[in-house]
Amino acid sequence: MATPQPTASLRPTPPKRASTVKPILPPPPSTIHPTAVIASHAVLSGTHPITIGAHCIIHPYARIVSAEGPVELQEGVVVWEHGIIEGRGEGVRIGRGVIVESGARIEGEVGEGSLVGQGSIIGVGSVVGKHCKLAPRTILEPQTRIPDFTVVYGANNARRVDTTVRDKAETMTAREKGQQRQMDALRKLVPGNTAKWMT
Amino acid sequence: MSPDLESITDTGNKISRRAQITGTANITLGGKTVIQSDVVLRGDLHRLPQRKEDGTMERTPTAISIGRYTVISSGCVLRPPGRNSGGTWRYYGMKVGDNVFVGPNTILSSASISSHVHIGASCTLGDFSIINSNVKILPGTVVPALMVVPPGVVLGGQPARVVGELGEGWGGGGNGVGGGEEAWTEGGELRELVRAIR
């Protein structure tokens, strides 16, 4: 194996060139809690208001788009890279402590404590209940309703009820504690640039 | 080589200018590796350096290491796996071997992927999954977290199951010899493919 080279050392030095990025639009009217972490490569765009609650973490290359409706992220929401939240109609509300994994696309409402797996799509006007879990690559058609504590999994969107979390309070607290630790670690590792989006 | 799209490092890695790489200091590429556009490499999610016995801090550990002649297609996400351990959340290193092909829009959080693995498009590889050498993963497969895949099998489904075995001929042929033959095969040497990508 050749000597590992950090990708930063490029040769020859890339020539300076004009940026092909479109002219930057004014940032959306957003209310961002000062404890939220928004990476500088995350994108907030649109014209409707965006509300980001306390302790939220928006990873680099995640997108929050309010072009067609307002977006509200409640306390402690994590949006991973390539995750997209698009406001539609009356608005999209993401509940407290929801994790939106890589490559997921959300155009509907998601209740408190739910997990949206990698590459999942939640269609327009869908409502996902509290403490649900969507397995990776789950695709919910528009206007789907998922009751609380449901797990959606597999190629045919099979559903079952997560009775362990529903009936045992200690499981729920353990899960919340674990998530809290993950968020603490992420807050140290993900460089935030929240000031960029403050209006 | 179109200068607008790719840049080549000292060791011959071809990295798209539109690749989305964070924490470059914690990523090692073995050389002759292709990173296409919109690929996310999360080098910033590394294990925090520990204090050594003599009181000094160790070097920041490598978050993602990728071998030679590996191709990461556009839209992929490589994110090191993490878990709760010893009261805190920790990230662990992620290793990808040589001659690995990763199809577009695949999300990888594996602990390790060995050499001569072919991963189809739109797959999801869960946290701490381990893929042994000479494995073919069909497009759209969802490999659950912590799964260990034995060598020489075909994986498919959601969640992933072993759907077949690879015969003796896997990865053979190709290599650009023999006129009309394809220059590369799934699971074989990807040197010709890497050379062809510009």
Q: Summarize pLDDT for B142-157 with one digit per residue, the tens.
A: 999 999 999 999 999 9
For the residues A100-124, what does the mean pLDDT come to?
95
CB B142 within 8 A of CB B149: no
Number of residue pairs across A and B with CB atoms under 8 Å? 122
CA B90, CA B100: separation in Å to the nearest integer?
A: 26
Nearest CB among A11, A103, A185 relative to B88 is that of A185
Whether B20 sits inside 8 A of A1 (CB atoms) is no
Lowest mean pLDDT among A121-125, B101-105, B185-189: B185-189
- Range(s) of the domain holding residue A149: 30-190
**Record: fold of B6-196:** UDP N-Acetylglucosamine Acyltransferase; domain 1 (2.160.10)
Tokens encoding A125: 């006007």
Structurally, chain A folds into a number of domains equal to 1
pLDDT band at B1 (very low <50, low <70, confident <90, very high): very low
CB B46 within 8 A of CB B59: no
CATH number at residue A73: 2.160.10.10
Does residue A140 register a pLDDT over 50? yes
pLDDT band at A90 (very low <50, low <70, confident <90, very high): confident
| Selection from A159-163, B167-171, B180-184 with the highest mean pLDDT | A159-163
**Mean of the per-residue pLDDT values for chain B?**
87
Chain A residues touching B105 at Cβ < 8 A: 103, 119
CA distance A122 to chain B (A): 17
What residues in chain A have their Cβ under 8 A from chain B's Cβ atoms?
1-11, 14-15, 17, 39, 41, 60-61, 80-82, 102-103, 117-119, 135-137, 153-155, 178, 181-182, 184-186, 188-191
Domain assignment of residue A12, yes or no: no
Query: Quick one: closest CA in A to B143, which residue?
Result: A136
CA B140, CA A118: separation in Å to the nearest integer?
A: 12
Q: Summarize pLDDT for B50-95 with one digit per residue, the tens.
A: 777 887 877 778 999 999 999 999 999 999 999 998 888 999 999 9
For chain B, give every domain's residue range: 6-196
Chain A residues touching B84 at Cβ < 8 A: 178, 181-182
Domain assignment of residue A4, yes or no: no
SS (H, E, C) B18-62: CCEEECHHHEEECCCCEECCCCEEECCCCCCCCECCCCCECCCCC
